[in-house]
Amino acid sequence: MIVGDLSRRELGERIAGPGLALQFGPFNLRIRSNLKSFASLAYQLYEPYPLPGTESIIDFHVQIASPRGLRQWMRPQACFAIDGQAPFAPYAVEHAFPALEWGINWCVATRAHHLLLLHSAVIERNGQAMLFPAAPGDGKSTLCTALIHSGWRLMSDEFGLVRPTDGMLLPVPRLIPLKNESIEVIRRFRPEAIIGPAFYGTRKGTVAHVRPPADSIERAQEPARPRWFVFPRWIANAPLALEPMSKSQAFLMVATNAFNYEVLDETAFQLVADMVRSSDCYSLSYSNLDEAIAALDELSRAIDE
């Protein structure tokens, strides 16, 4: 059963009451909110996500709500909470939806230490995964969005979840937040992409969320083996350049970028070493999305031969 199987009214009742339970890859969440605006957006953007069975244990109990009291009337705010505790300062009530999405990232990053958490976008084709380790302002989300609308499956935009027992990557195909100009870039590039409303003036500028293709969400329990690391940089007017990168450098960039490399001690060291050793590592400079996609498609075709 998926969120879309609920009526709008039923969803509203769940969110305002006991909470809406849904599944993002390996994580079961229960989401509550007293904001009607939030419920409407949730109905639209979380539509394809599965509901966990009634007997399932929920991993994260989260809430985005407007506090009661005088505040309600002065400058309305939305506060993110997990297990009744609020780790962040309140947001403007208009930013409730992105606030919850960021809050969920925080929950994963601070709690999911049974996995190695790389900071990376991950896409998949033919059972093999391509990772884009994050660096600030590098446009990985834009590239990732473009790729998943061009034949690749989304595993994740933010977290490369590595299962320590076998080094496999686990999907967590959540909404992809696009910022500022990227929103328009994707609208033009793929008019059929499902993009939620834009939120202006957030802490990260203007943000809008892309709902991944249904296929990515349906296959959210299908792991993949890492095969390529690509470090992308968008540079205005730059010619396409896809160049092999030294593995020691790739190792260091992946390790320093991970959320919990240090926490997993020796296991993390071995996992990253194994992944980098058995993958091809590249740096990619591009200014044109089509060119970049073609180059990456070429990489994946090259190993089929």
Partner 1 sequence: MPLASPLAGAPRLVCTIAVRTLEWQAWDDVYIVYQPSSAETHVFNETTALILRCLEQGPLSRKMVKERVEETLGVGLGKLAADDFAFATQRLEELGLIECLDEASVVQ
Partner 2 sequence: MNKMTSETQRAQRLLLDALKTPEKLPTLPPADWELLLRVARRVRLLGRLESDLSRSGLLASIPPRAAAHLKAARNVIEHRNTLVRWEVNRILWALKSIKTPLILLKGAAYLLAELPPARGRIFADLDLLIPEERIGEVEERLLECGWFKTQIDPYDDRYYRVWMHEIPPLRHRERGTEIDIHHRLLPRTSRLKSDPASLFMAARPLTHPRLRVLAPADMVLHSLVHLFLEGDPDEGLRLRDLVDVHDLLCHFGQEPGFWAGLTPRARELGFGRPLFYGLHHAQRLLGTQIPSVVLQELEDAAPAWPVRHLMNHLIHLALLPGHPDHPSSLATFSRWLLYVRAHWLRMPTNLLSRHLAHKTWLRFRGARKRIDLAQLDLKQQ
Binding site for partner 1 (CB under 8 A): 246-248, 251-252, 255, 261-262, 265-266, 269-270, 273
The option from partner 1, partner 2, none interacting with 159 (CB < 5 to 8 A, set by class) reads: none
Q: For partner 2, which residue of 92, 109, 245, 299 counts as binding (CB under 8 A)?
A: 109
The option from partner 1, partner 2, none interacting with 255 (CB < 5 to 8 A, set by class) reads: partner 1
With beta carbons less than 8 A apart as the criterion, state whether 227 and 129 touch. Answer: yes
**Which CB, 95 or 119, lies closer to partner 2?**
119
**Which CB, 166 or 265, lies closer to partner 1?**
265
Q: What tokens appear for 230 in the block?
A: 């690509």
Interatomic CA distance for residues 288 and 15, integer angstroms: 41
Binding-site string for partner 2 from residue 222 to residue 261, where x marks contact by CB under 8 A and - marks none = -------------------------------------x--
Is position 113 an interface residue for partner 2 (rule: CB under 8 A)?
yes
With beta carbons less than 8 A apart as the criterion, state whether 30 and 20 touch. Answer: yes
**Which CB, 62 or 144, lies closer to partner 2?**
62
**Which CB, 110 or 246, lies closer to partner 2?**
110
* Closest distance to partner 2 from the beta carbon of 261 (Å): 11
What are the φ/ψ torsions at residue 164 (nearest 5 degrees)? -65, -30
Stretch that binds partner 2, among 8-16, 106-114, 194-202, 295-303 (CB under 8 A): 106-114
CA-closest candidate to residue 148, choices 117, 183, 173: 173
* Closest distance to partner 1 from the beta carbon of 189 (Å): 37
Residues 4-43 that bind partner 2 (CB under 8 A): 28
* Closest distance to partner 1 from the beta carbon of 135 (Å): 19
Grouping H, G, I as helix, E, B as strand and the rest as coil, residue 295 is helix
Instruction: Count Cβ atoms below 10 Å from residue 94 Cβ, excluding itself.
Output: 16
Interatomic CA distance for residues 287 and 235, integer angstroms: 5
The option from partner 2, partner 1, none interacting with 282 (CB < 5 to 8 A, set by class) reads: none
Grouping H, G, I as helix, E, B as strand and the rest as coil, residue 148 is helix
Interatomic CA distance for residues 190 and 185, integer angstroms: 9
The option from partner 1, partner 2, none interacting with 247 (CB < 5 to 8 A, set by class) reads: partner 1
CA-closest candidate to residue 121, choices 26, 207, 228: 228
- Exposed, middle or buried by CB within 10 Å (0-12, 13-18, 19+), for 287? middle
Q: For partner 2, which residue of 265, 302, 304, 305 counts as binding (CB under 8 A)?
A: 265
Q: Which residues, 6 or more positions from 207, have their beta carbon under 8 angstroms from its beta carbon?
A: 98, 177, 178, 179, 198, 199
Interacting residue ranges for partner 2, rule: CB under 8 A: 28, 55-59, 61, 83-85, 87, 109-114, 259, 262-265
